[in-house]
Homo-oligomer: A and B are copies of this chain.
Amino acid sequence: MTQARAPRADAVRNRKKILDAAREQISLHGPEAGMDEIAAAAGVAVGTLYRHFPNKTDLVAAVIAEYLDGVAAGAEAAVERVAAGAPALDEITHFLQHVMEASAADRAVKAAALVLSADPADKAPVERAANALTSLIQTGQADGDIHPDVTIDDMYLLFSTAPTDQPASARARWLTLFLSGLTTHGRSAGN
């Protein structure tokens, strides 16, 4: 019974509304999206925004944390499918596509994080994703599909350099090129 049993129903709702509005406004207007504008988009007053997030930096950190949560969930789902017999290389490929598209949607959030040097509020999702990815890589290497010198750091490199602010076709091409560096297969003339 360690609940703080208060009627926090609306407070929770507000927190969600604020995070959604923050992601949206920052994506639309970049890091210079104003706190007032985010609050207005969320349908609350600034004071409420500040009750939930004492800083602009903290707000951005929370948006990032939410995003990382999705990444971690995706990675873990991939691991499970591999455990169920799916080929690791395919799962890695799909996971990377998934992350890339998610990053594209939140591209400006990354920029805001850089400008404000906001760290994710919670390190747990990062670790979860790292564990899952390590597992995928190892399986892929055991299958002989992934180059033996590939490490989790290559994944970070990939996440941090994906062309999130370019058209989907550019991202697809970029992933093709990058993957040929990760796999043992090289590229034939046709792909």
Check if A114 is an interface residue, CB within 8 A of chain B: yes
Cβ–Cβ contact A186 & B189, under 8 A: no
Nearest-neighbour CB distance to chain B for A1, whole angstroms, equals 22
A interface size (C-beta, 8 A): 33
Do the beta carbons of A187 and B177 come within 8 Å of each other?
no
Per DSSP, chain A at the interface is helix
A115 and B31 in contact, given A147-B187, A163-B160 (Cβ under 8 angstroms): yes
Residues A174 and B186 in contact in the complex (CB < 8 Å), given A30-B115, A115-B30, A115-B31: no
Q: How many copies does the complex hold?
A: 4
CB proximity of A153 to chain B, nearest CB, Å: 7
* Alpha-carbon distance A185/B178, docked complex (angstroms): 14
> Which of A147-191 touch B at CB < 8 Å?
147-149, 153-154, 157, 160-163, 165-166, 170, 173-174, 176-182, 184-187, 189
Is A111 an interface residue when CB atoms closer than 8 A count as contact? yes
